[in-house]
Amino acid sequence: MNRDLNPTHDPQLRSWISSANQPGTDFPIQNLPFGVFQRRDQPQESRIGVAIGDRILDLHQCYRSGHLQNLPEVLQQACAESSLNPLMALGPWSVAMLRPLLQNLLRADCPPPRLSEDLLLQDLQVEMQIPATIGDYTDFYASLFHATHVGSLLRPHNPLLPNYKHLPIAYHGRSSSLLLSGRPIPRPQGQRKGADEPYPHFGATQALDYEMEVGFLVGQGNALGKPIPIAQAESAIFGLCLVNDWSARDIQAWEYQPLGPFLGKSFATSLSPWVVTLEAIAPFRCPAFTRLAEDPPLLPYLSCFDNAKQGGIDLTVEVWLQSALMKDQGIQALRLSQANFQDMYWTLAQMVAHHTSNGCNLRSGDLLASGTISGAEEGSQGSLLEITRRGAQPFELPSGEQRRFLQDGDEITLRGYCRRAGYVDIGLGLCQAQITASI
């Protein structure tokens, strides 16, 4: 039994909001993820909301109506802010106190409180926002299978570089181009050079790709020069979201040596609007990836008993594609990939411990992403680079179209969910975006 389970995970809990009890909902009462929204009739004011079924509970209005009065004042004030940063910065105790109180407002076996009409909102009444002020963004490369697939395309006889199994690889991304789910992605332009071309040329990418990832937002950060030990690393994480780290593979291939990703990545990264807390996913924890006997031993700063025992997460992530023609013809999106986060070689705690091991300071609201999630089996590759083997093996859509990489009008949807016998499924919502022509 997971030692972090508590009454908020009770699978028998039901809400008086009927949509929260429907099979297939991402947001049952056991989930209660956090996000930020603006009311369409008050677009100048951002507020924190909690997803419950097909409704959004307005925490600012809860505060004003006195429904949070049993919480410490500092926590009440954080719920009334315009971003999640102050709430996340309080640390895990804030979620541990807030979730039971919110459940008591929403659970079916308690008398429904007299809620004002402004307390529970519908999707059409709001416009979601990026949930936090994100100062920095780091993208890891934590899937052994993704690294092996890509390495096999570039270095068939030596797919993994020597450092891969010793430390979590990452690069520092650009936070200014983080976009909320639903924002279109203009096709980027840049320098490209074909293998048989003597000189590069400038133009729109012909190899636009997605990357199926899970992101996690920092709650409490660390002081500069003070690393976070791996045993405490998860205390620095507030929760999870979905991330699509778009990639222009032809731009990337020409520019990435010797310093790594730049314009082939920095044009856009999409993220989902709801942040699912680590506490909510406690029933779905699992052991960390089992390293092979021939793998190098972990250095002590990347190893601890709790991380090995339950550092993984049984979280299924999928990517779906619908072309403009498919939409016109009424053809549903095609699932391109389904993989599980428990197959990641490096855990969340190891990523945080390594990120701060040199004394780097993380701050509340920083976004860290896992890197592309891929599995060992066919159908679990988290990018078109892997699926089409750098475009050499195109696949066919139900409309008869072929794809090597993304075309204008294509819409990519990521979804993620946790499912385990004996517990209620919870989801991360959707991360969607459509490709548009170059500006």
Active-site residue set: 146
**Is 372 labelled as part of a ligand binding site?**
yes
E strands, 255-314, are 269-271, 276-277, 285-286, 312-313
Which whole-number Å values give the CA distances from 216 to 132, 146, 253, 350, in the listed order?
Answer: 12, 19, 27, 13
For residue 183, the SS3 value is coil
**Is 410 labelled as part of a ligand binding site?**
no
For residue 57, the SS3 value is strand
**Is 269 labelled as part of a ligand binding site?**
yes
For residue 144, the SS3 value is helix
**Is 165 labelled as part of a ligand binding site?**
no
For residue 30, the SS3 value is coil
**Is 279 labelled as part of a ligand binding site?**
no
The single residue listed with the structure tokens 């929403």 is 106
67 contact partners, CB below 8 Å, separation of at least 6: 101, 105, 113, 119
**How many CB atoms are located within 10 Å of the residue 229 CB?**
16
Tokens, residue 276: 């699912």
**Is 141 labelled as part of a ligand binding site?**
yes
User: What CA–CA distance (Å, rounded) separates 390 from 221?
Assistant: 39
**Is 45 labelled as part of a ligand binding site?**
no
β 411-418/315-322 pair status: antiparallel
Answer whether 26's CB lies under 8 Å from 429's CB: yes
**Is 138 labelled as part of a ligand binding site?**
no
**Is 55 labelled as part of a ligand binding site?**
no
**Is 209 labelled as part of a ligand binding site?**
no
The single residue listed with the structure tokens 């050499």 is 392
**Is 301 labelled as part of a ligand binding site?**
no
Tokens, residue 283: 């029933």
Q: Select from 173, 143, 180 the least CA-distant residue to 337.
A: 143
E strands, 113-192, are 120-122, 126-129, 137-140, 170-173, 178-180, 185-186, 189-192
Q: What is the DSSP letter of 15?
A: B
In the annotated binding site for substrate, the residues are: 141, 155, 252, 256, 372
In the annotated binding site for Mg(2+), the residues are: 245, 265, 269
In the annotated binding site for Ca(2+), the residues are: 139, 211, 213, 245
